[in-house]
Amino acid sequence: MSATLETTPLSDLEYRQITSAILSNIETTLDRWLEEIDLDVDTRRSGGLLELVFPNRTHIVINTQPPLQELWMAAKSGGFHYRCVQGRWLDREGKEFYEALSECASEQAGKTLKFTPPN
């Protein structure tokens, strides 16, 4: 993290609850898009790992990293690490997780997609 981005300390339980809600929110969003915009992205979830498989067979993998309290994303454009900073998941440059996920998913789906944090 850059010197200006102070990681928010979380208990192990808080980390698990927050990251589980993030993964569930992504799955719910994709289910809604299947109905609303006919976007068929397959999801595979195993514990703290969620894999998105797009119609063109590209993948995005989102993985929780409990020992580091990070959220990792691997996409066609690269790999990214996020840490909780004042309730937002940011990478070292300060880019927000949902913004990056939206960009990567849009690129891989060939249409504009916007993921948003759970309420």
pLDDT of residue 4: 57
Whether 117 maps to a domain, the answer reads: no
Closest C-alpha among 118, 109, 25 to residue 75: 109
Q: Number of folded domains in the chain?
A: 1
pLDDT band at 38 (very low <50, low <70, confident <90, very high): confident
Residue 18 is part of a domain; what is its CATH number? 3.30.920.10
pLDDT of residue 119: 74
Predicted structure pTM score: 0.93
> At 107, is the pLDDT very low, low, confident or very high (cuts 50, 70, 90)?
very high
- 1 assigned to some structural domain: no
Domain that holds residue 90: 12-109
Domain assignment present for 70? yes
Q: Two tokens at 27?
A: 């799955």
115 located within any domain: no
CA 91 to mean position of chain CA atoms: 12
Whether residue 41 has pLDDT greater than 90 = yes
Q: What is the total residue count of the chain?
A: 119
Kindly state the percentage of the chain with pLDDT values over 70: 97
The neighbour count for residue 52, using CB atoms within 10 Å, is 24
Examine the pLDDT at 13 and tell me if it is beyond 80.
yes
